[in-house]
Chains A and B, each alone.
Chain A
Amino acid sequence: MAGGGDTGGAGRIASENTPGTWAPLRGWLLAPSWLVIGVFLLAPVGMMLVYSFLTKEFRGGVIWELSLAAYDQFIFDRGLFGDEPPQLEWTYITIFGRSIAQAAAATVLCFLIGFPTAFFIATRPVHTRSAWLFLVTVPYWVNLLIRTVSMKFLIRDNGPLNEFLLWTGAISEPLALVNTNLAVQLGLFYSYLPFMVLPIYASVERYDFTLSEAAADLYADRWTTLRLVLIPAVIPGIVAGCILVFVPSLGAFLAPDLLGGAKNFMIGSLIEEQFKGNAGNWPFGAAASMILLSMVLVALLYYARQQIRGERAG
């Protein structure tokens, strides 16, 4: 996904200098990937859509009877047996709202830290650049579960962070961070920060600094130059970074589950509970997944449009 914009560009070059050497065998070469992804991902997503319109079987599974109950349940509470007058149900709307807010906050936080970092790395001498970049990417490849557990270990009530802050005298009582929205936020930020840095880095690296120099020659101070010249030029990278942070944050499971606890549920935990937990409502879980998937597709389409616009502009 990070290479979306680049791949487009590279694809153009490839079509110029490489003829279709393998064109006659193209179908056979592509068939395995079509088959595997088609059968084991595309078809399952289609099946999930069907399941979201079926009737729930208690203790998991479905009854093959068409029903809109799963979607209805998001908005209305009709009592235990579904025969009471509908009342507006805020539980799930709140969970979705919280997920969007958390994902948006994580995106902003990642941008505030990620942009200066990406800029700094992109302006290093060429030979040290890849080492800096490597430092930023290594944590991404460490198991996400282990990273989230580590974060919990660090910020727990009598954990090293609190001990350090108590020792410096910055606080007089340990901060109760675990099981708060703030902890979830910290977890999301920590999980997806590299996703913000990499695409912005790629944009800034390609940026023509003579533009900034021209602005500086015309007596723009450095912050004006940044705001009016550099940022507009690297917008495609910023949009890519924001999408790459926002999308996985929206459906995150580990950070809200391990750091947030039951009070700070996000979509991911809500879905998981329908299949693994005690609730066991498969159509509802499928419907929640469909809603999440639609939200992600909207974000990705927006991203694709931005990329196309960016390619046309530059």
Chain B
Amino acid sequence: MVGAAPVRHKSTGAHPGAEVTAGHDVRRYPGFLPVTILCLIVLYAPLIVVMVYSFNDSPSITIWGGFSLRWYEDVFFGLEAGKFKDAAWNSLSIAAMAATASTVIATSAAVGMVRGGAFRGKSASFALLSLPIMVPEIVTAVATLIFFSAIGFTLGFASILVAHVVFCIPFAYLPISARLQGIEGVYEEAARDLYASRAEAFRHVLLPLMAPGILSGFLLAFIISLDDFIITNFVKGAGVETLPTAIFGAVKQGIKPNIMALSTLMLAVSVVFVTVSWLVGRSGTKPGG
């Protein structure tokens, strides 16, 4: 390439003086597109394969026996339907409660951090807020189990819920504080100048502006809670199962087609949630910049 006749390259116009280069577009590297495609294949192939086989009519997971919804029927009405329903109910109610609690805590913390001015211990506060994502999940799981057993807290629904609130906080906090950082302080100041109380300024001015961030924080916390296996597995106690722990227990005996159908359903829920969260986040960032 070096020494080739200088050509006009497709400059994006960011730099008008740089139209002539040594003959290549500095934004293009041969082979990067194939690697990107490979990357996407690696990311999606396992999921697509499981999705396709969940519609397999055959009870064997190897042989394709035509299209059928029988395994979905099995998930909802089959032998294990009761188990799955209980697990799904636990998962969804824990996710809803943990996401709500962590979103409230994270919103309050975001206002304190972003609108609290400079104060001593700000970076310590930030470190504490990020602690749940810094500590490896397995370590959090061990520490939480030890803590509950030391204080004599019975393991079950409540212990799972408490553990989930903790690790959901940073996931709710990040989008909420990012949103708040993008909102200028002048709006609240104007409201306060017009004799709005602090509570009114929050409710009528700041909260509506923060709403997209809060919603995307809530959705991420919800997904993170639904997703968790390791910590739940440690603190669930006997008899209480969430969807991931139920699936884990089932796949220990081999991957069965009904598990693939259940997985596909959960996958669909995740994709819907993330898509909504993405669209909300995008619409939220446009006007404010």
Contact = CB atoms under 8 A, between A and B. Distances in A.
Q: How large is the interface on A (under 10, 10 to 19, 20 to 34, 35 or more residues)?
A: 35 or more
A150 B46 contact: yes
B138 A251 contact: yes
Interface in A143-201: 143-147, 149-154, 158-160, 189-190, 193-194, 197
B234 to A, nearest CB: 6
B85 to A, nearest CB: 18
B239 interface: no
Interface in B154-213: 162-163, 165-166, 169, 173-174, 177-178, 180-181, 183-185, 188-189, 192, 198
B136 interface: yes
A80 interface: no
B43 A248 contact: no
A47 B116 CA distance: 32
Contact of A225 (B26, B114, B146, B188): B26
Given A21-B185, A251-B136, A253-B138, A29 B26 contact: no
Contacts of A219: 2-3, 22
Contacts of A19: 117, 185, 189
B137 interface: yes
Interface stretch (A70-78, A86-94, A286-294): A286-294
The size class of the interface chain B forms with chain A is 35 or more
B178 A153 contact: no
Given A1-B134, A113-B35, A289-B143, A147 B270 contact: no
Interface string A218-255: 11111001100000000000000000000110110110
Contacts of A137: 274
B39 interface: yes
Interface in A290-310: 292-293, 296, 300
Contact of A149 (B32, B173, B255): B255
Given A26-B117, A40-B166, A271-B138, 6 more contacts: A20-B118, A48-B142, A149-B50, A151-B46, A217-B18, A282-B146
26 contacts: A3-B174, A13-B181, A25-B198, A30-B112, A32-B104, A33-B173, A37-B129, A40-B166, A42-B128, A42-B131, A44-B140, A120-B35, A121-B36, A143-B266, A143-B267, A145-B247, A146-B47, A147-B46, A149-B259, A160-B49, A212-B26, A213-B11, A222-B1, A258-B251, A268-B138, A296-B139
